[in-house]
Structure 1
Amino acid sequence: MTEAPFAFDGLDRLFHEKARLGIVTALAGHPDGLGFTEVRQLTGLTDGNLSRHIQVLEEAGLVVLVKGYEGKRPHTSCRLTDQGRARFADYLDTLERVLRDAARATGSVSRTGKALKGPA
């Protein structure tokens, strides 16, 4: 057993912020990426907030922006990098462990009525 079993070091702060979690979750389901407008609509963020959060993710090497044109109109798309996809998967594994541990500690059940089980 680790010294601090509830430290949850794998909860990467880059993903754990609500807006960035929404952005990365949206991108995770679209390996070829999404346009800026699509991400904005899916997350409900303003242009400024979305730009700033994408910048943070881009600086960390988790997303890549591709700027170009669709016809004569400028178009920016965003996609997860391989590193971003792998780190997000690790984050989700840790988050699942958090949920199992919390459910076990509180005796909680899932919305489907099934007991949430942790590792044996």
Structure 2
Amino acid sequence: MGIISGLNKEFESRVRLGMMSVLMVNDWMDFTEMKNLLQVTDGNLSSHATALEKNGYIEVKKEFVGKRPRTSYKITDSGKKAFQEHLAFLEKMMRQ
């Protein structure tokens, strides 16, 4: 086991790091806001969101507002815990 073994592989991507960071401080964030904030493409955001959802780190809500579809994201309790552990390990690595 190397020095980086405590890092969560699911958070290696800058997009996923960004998504999780945003969701740590916002209850819900809609797709368009998240896309603009992170400056990524629709497909890029969508694929990273799917991966985070599959791991149980975020919740995805799809609804219609009027006749327009809206997708929103929220961090789950297990996502919060996993991300906090990831950040704590990064801090520990920096102190060594």
The TM-score normalised by the length of structure 1 is 0.74
1:64 counterpart residue number: 59
Letter in 1 for 2:92: R
Deviation >2 Å, runs of 4+: none
Gaps of 5+ in 2: none
2:45 counterpart residue number: 50
SS in structure 2 of the partner of residue 37 of structure 1: helix
- Give the root-mean-square deviation of aligned CA atoms: 1.3
Distance 1:71 1:28 in 2: 28
Once the 2 structures are TM-superposed, how far is the Cα of residue 90 of structure 1 from its aligned partner?
Answer: 0.5
1:13 counterpart residue number: 9
- Same amino acid, percent of matched pairs: 39
Which fold has the larger relative contact order, with Cα–Cα distance below 8 Å and residues 6 or more apart in sequence?
A: 2
More helix by share: 2
Letter in 2 for 1:65: V
Distance 2:93 2:33 in 1: 30
The TM-score normalised by the length of structure 2 is 0.92
Distance 2:38 2:9 in 1: 18
Distance 1:54 1:79 in 2: 10
Deviations 1:88-120 (A, max 9, x none): 01011001111222xxxxxxxxxxxxxxxxxxx
**Greater Rg, structure 1 or structure 2?**
1
Distance 1:95 1:71 in 2: 43
1:113 counterpart residue number: none
Gaps of 5+ in 1: 102-120
Pick the aligned partner of 1:76 from 49, 55, 71. 71
SS in structure 1 of the partner of residue 15 of structure 2: helix
Letter in 2 for 1:64: E
Aligned pairs (5 A) from 1:90-105? 90-101=85-96
